[in-house]
């Protein structure tokens, strides 16, 4: 009696294992794949940063069509082998209402791209949702809750930059906030996996662009 049971178990395993492998392959295939590019134009009196986010994968990804949410722009300079920000905060901006979020958060389909231009000396928007430590939970352990922030920045005129760092980061706090507040947003399309892209370009005015590609 044991032999038929053993054979049946082997048959069951042959059915389960390929299914599991197929599911794993599907999960890998559904990972988003984005590229981030940046270039500078104009001159030092009016530097214009152009940023492009492209979907080079096979699945759509929810993004801000204006490429402002979760995009950090950091002019920087190096002194004594250390890096410092060349940034000056010039004001706060009101975080958009949920209705505006619903109109701005759209799927970036495979092959599509969005572009944003920022005038670094006139001021550029930064909209972030970051985790903030809240009072303890029912178990007494600290909780992380989304915190919204909106600000306006520009190059510090007293600290000339030598490079510009651009970061596109889809954080868990951002995903949680959007899923909890914005209707008809597919959480999987918003962030199937952690998305972090970083590009550094020299503070020079040339036509060439450099980029960073997410491969995981």
The pLDDT of residue 206: 65
Q: What percent of the chain has pLDDT over 70?
A: 75
Q: What whole-number distance in Å separates Cα of residue 38 and Cα of residue 107? A: 21
157 has a pLDDT exceeding 60: yes
Q: Looking at 40-44, 60-64, 138-142, 198-202, which range is the least confident one?
A: 138-142
Residue range 126-136: average pLDDT? 72
At 92-122, the pLDDT tens digits run: 988 888 889 889 999 999 999 999 999 999 9
Which candidate, 96, 127, 109, 98, places its Cα nearest to that of 53?
109
Which candidate, 170, 161, 143, 2, places its Cα nearest to that of 71?
170
Residue range 45-61: average pLDDT? 95
The pLDDT of residue 214: 60
The pLDDT of residue 171: 85
Token pair recorded at residue 34: 């984005």
Residue range 124-148: average pLDDT? 68
């Amino acid at each position: 009696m044991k032999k038929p049971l053993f054979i049946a178990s082997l048959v069951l395993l042959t059915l389960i294992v390929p299914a599991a492998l197929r599911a794993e392959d599907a999960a890998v295939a559904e990972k988003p794949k984005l590229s981030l590019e940046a270039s500078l134009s104009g001159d030092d009196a009016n530097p214009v940063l152009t940023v492009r986010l492209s979907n080079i994968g096979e699945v759509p990804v929810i993004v801000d069509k204006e490429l402002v949410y979760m995009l950090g722009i950091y002019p920087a300079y190096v002194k004594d082998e250390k890096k410092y920000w060349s940034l000056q905060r010039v004001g706060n901006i009101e975080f958009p209402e949920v209705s505006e979020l619903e109109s701005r958060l759209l799927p970036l389909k495979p092959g599509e791209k969005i572009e944003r231009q920022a005038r670094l000396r006139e001021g550029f928007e930064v909209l972030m949702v970051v985790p903030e430590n809240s009072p303890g939970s029912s178990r007494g352990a600290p909780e992380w809750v989304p915190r919204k922030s909106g600000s306006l920045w520009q190059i510090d005129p007293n600290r000339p930059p030598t490079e510009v760092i651009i970061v596109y980061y889809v954080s868990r706090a951002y995903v949680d906030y959007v899923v909890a507040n914005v209707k008809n947003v597919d959480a999987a399309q918003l962030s199937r996996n952690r998305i972090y892209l970083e590009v550094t370009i020299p503070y020079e005015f040339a036509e060439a662009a450099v980029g960073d590609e997410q491969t995981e």
